[in-house]
Chain A
Amino acid sequence: MGLLAYGDTGWGDELFFATLMTIAVAAAAIFIGFFLAAIFASFKLSKSKTLNLIGSFYTTVFRGVPELLVIYLFFFGSSGAVMYVARIFGYDGYIEVNAFLTGALSIGIISGAYSTEVFRGAIQSINKGQFEASQVLGFKKKIYYYKIIIPQMLRLALPNISNVWQITLKDTSLISVTGLVEIMRMSYVAAGSTRDPLFFYSFAAVLYLFLTFLSLKLFNKLENHYSKGY
């Protein structure tokens, strides 16, 4: 257990902060995903054929291509893209994009593809009569969406959002290839310097299990809370 001591002698504090980093990246990623999902779900549900196609293209590509490949695209591509834009504005130097940002963005885009399907399914399962009723009552379209559709949709989508969160949380382990110090990266460093990979990777597994267990409990609580009226 000395290996996990807090402070300079062990890896306890390092792994603790790495765990916080994992949570932070996962949270950032899922919110980026929600944002994208709100846009692309509305594309998929719209009457325009072009928008439908864009929406399907997004979900097909990012659910069909390995996460690691997407991460490599962003990892190697992002600084190139930023430098390209900077050159237009007359800046010629080398710019490195923050690993947290590339990580959260690449996982967020993948997570968004899953969330899009979840949102779309939830919106479609809301009874059409609600729309008619709100029209009769004279609600504006904006209010109809914010006050009637979204609250109901969130309740229906919660179990699936929980799934997406679990996927996203586990996907963050892949960001370790870019050097961002989250659980996997920290374990890799610790395993290398102590020559005890079995212990550190097993401990990483325990940390992930703990996180997935905790989030499951939390989502169950939320689900209970939001289904009170039913």
Chain B
Amino acid sequence: MIESLPRLLNATKVTIELTLLSLLFGIFVGVFFALLRTSKNRVFYFISYYYSYIFRGTPLLVQIFIIYFGLGQVEWIRESFLWILLKEPYSCAILAFTLNTGAYSSEIFRSAFETINKGVLEAAKGLGFNKLHIFFKIKLPIAIRQSLPAYGNEMILMLKGTSLASTVTLLDLTGVAKHIISTTFRPVEVFIVAGSIYLIMTFIIHNFIKYLEKKYSYE
């Protein structure tokens, strides 16, 4: 049980890296599609709607398989510069995770934008703020505060989601755990160690979000 710890801890780095990178890119994708969703243009609205519908309605495993195994089949992708990224399982995993978490976060951010009090925006307009100012100084901070609890859940879901990287040959925490299980036939012990590492990470995320919620609460 103890012997497996160093290898699992090493693999935890991969898991953390995958989670943080996907979440970072996912925030941008999420905000982008949330804005499209609130736009008055029908086309933008539909693009955003179906993007989130498709990525939330299918399993992450399918998405990662389409990107990793499927896209290599397309001639023009193989010949384009994108191929440098798409032939690597690592970047494929990041892409799949980013698009997946982007879809969920876009819904979270959208509802956060929608719940902003109209009066606040009118007040800002009345005070002569321009559009950019209103967005960055008023809308975004309020939306971030609003979406914190739901986004915390999404962070934990993404952390768990990165375990699927092991299906495309990456050696993340779950991948290494599986490898150790299949060579030693000690499923319970390895599960306890790897599971505890995941639980510690969930615990840290949970408390981090709680801290932020407190820090940015209005009361």
Q: Which residue in B54, B61, B181, B195 is a CB contact (below 8 Å) of A173?
A: B61
Given known contacts A66-B198, A173-B62, A213 and B57 CB-to-CB distance under 8 angstroms: yes
Contacting pair A65 B198 (CB below 8 A): yes
Contacting pair A76 B187 (CB below 8 A): yes
Given known contacts A67-B160, A76-B182, A76-B185, A173 and B59 CB-to-CB distance under 8 angstroms: yes
Given known contacts A66-B163, A69-B163, A205 and B62 CB-to-CB distance under 8 angstroms: yes
- Residue B130 lies at the interface, judged by CB distance under 8 Å to chain A: no
Starting from the known contacts A70-B191, A184-B62, A208-B59, 16 additional A-B residue pairs (CB-CB under 8 Å) come to A64-B203, A66-B161, A69-B198, A72-B191, A76-B181, A76-B185, A77-B188, A173-B61, A173-B62, A174-B59, A174-B61, A184-B61, A201-B69, A201-B70, A204-B65, A208-B62
* Distance, CA A188 to CA B68, complexed state (A): 13
Contacting pair B61 A176 (CB below 8 A): yes
Given known contacts A61-B195, A76-B185, A201-B66, A69 and B174 CB-to-CB distance under 8 angstroms: yes
In A199-215, the 8 Å CB interface with B consists of: 201-202, 204-205, 208-209, 212-213
Which residue of chain A lies nearest to B70 when distances are taken between CB atoms in the complex?
A198
Residues of B within 8 A of A72 (CB): 174, 177-178, 181, 187, 191
Chain A nearest CB: distance from B176 CB in Å? 11
- Residue B167 lies at the interface, judged by CB distance under 8 Å to chain A: yes
- Residue B166 lies at the interface, judged by CB distance under 8 Å to chain A: yes
Using CB atoms and an 8 Å cutoff, list the residues of chain B in contact with chain A.
54, 57-63, 65-66, 69-71, 73-74, 156, 159-164, 166-167, 174, 177-178, 181-182, 185, 187-188, 191, 194-195, 198-199, 202-203
List 20 interface pairs A-B (beta carbons < 8 Å), by A numbering: A60-B199, A64-B156, A66-B174, A66-B198, A68-B174, A68-B178, A69-B163, A72-B178, A72-B191, A73-B191, A174-B59, A177-B167, A184-B65, A198-B66, A201-B66, A205-B54, A205-B66, A208-B57, A212-B58, A213-B57
Chain B nearest CB: distance from A7 CB in Å? 25
Which residue of chain B lies nearest to A204 when distances are taken between CB atoms in the complex?
B62
- Residue A13 lies at the interface, judged by CB distance under 8 Å to chain B: no
Contacting pair A170 B58 (CB below 8 A): yes
Contacting pair A205 B163 (CB below 8 A): no
Residues of A within 8 A of B54 (CB): 205, 209
Residues of A within 8 A of B63 (CB): 205
Which residue of chain B lies nearest to A68 when distances are taken between CB atoms in the complex?
B163
Contacting pair B194 A197 (CB below 8 A): no
The 8 nearest A-B residue pairs measured at CB? A66-B163, A198-B70, A77-B187, A173-B59, A197-B69, A76-B187, A64-B202, A170-B59
Chain B nearest CB: distance from A195 CB in Å? 8
Q: Most chain-A CB neighbours within 10 Å: which of B54, B164, B185, B187?
A: B187
* Distance, CA A184 to CA B33, complexed state (A): 28
Chain B nearest CB: distance from A166 CB in Å? 8
* Distance, CA A209 to CA B55, complexed state (A): 9
Residues of B within 8 A of A176 (CB): 61
Residues of A within 8 A of B185 (CB): 76, 80
Chain B nearest CB: distance from A197 CB in Å? 4
Which residue of chain A lies nearest to B74 when distances are taken between CB atoms in the complex?
A198
In A68-119, the 8 Å CB interface with B consists of: 68-70, 72-73, 76-77, 80
- Residue A171 lies at the interface, judged by CB distance under 8 Å to chain B: yes
Residues of A within 8 A of B174 (CB): 66, 68-69, 72
* Distance, CA A208 to CA B69, complexed state (A): 18
Chain B nearest CB: distance from A208 CB in Å? 5
Residues of A within 8 A of B198 (CB): 64-66, 69
Contacting pair A198 B195 (CB below 8 A): no
- Residue A45 lies at the interface, judged by CB distance under 8 Å to chain B: no
Contacting pair A209 B58 (CB below 8 A): yes
* Distance, CA A90 to CA B50, complexed state (A): 58
Which residue of chain A lies nearest to B156 when distances are taken between CB atoms in the complex?
A64
Which residue of chain A lies nearest to B188 when distances are taken between CB atoms in the complex?
A77
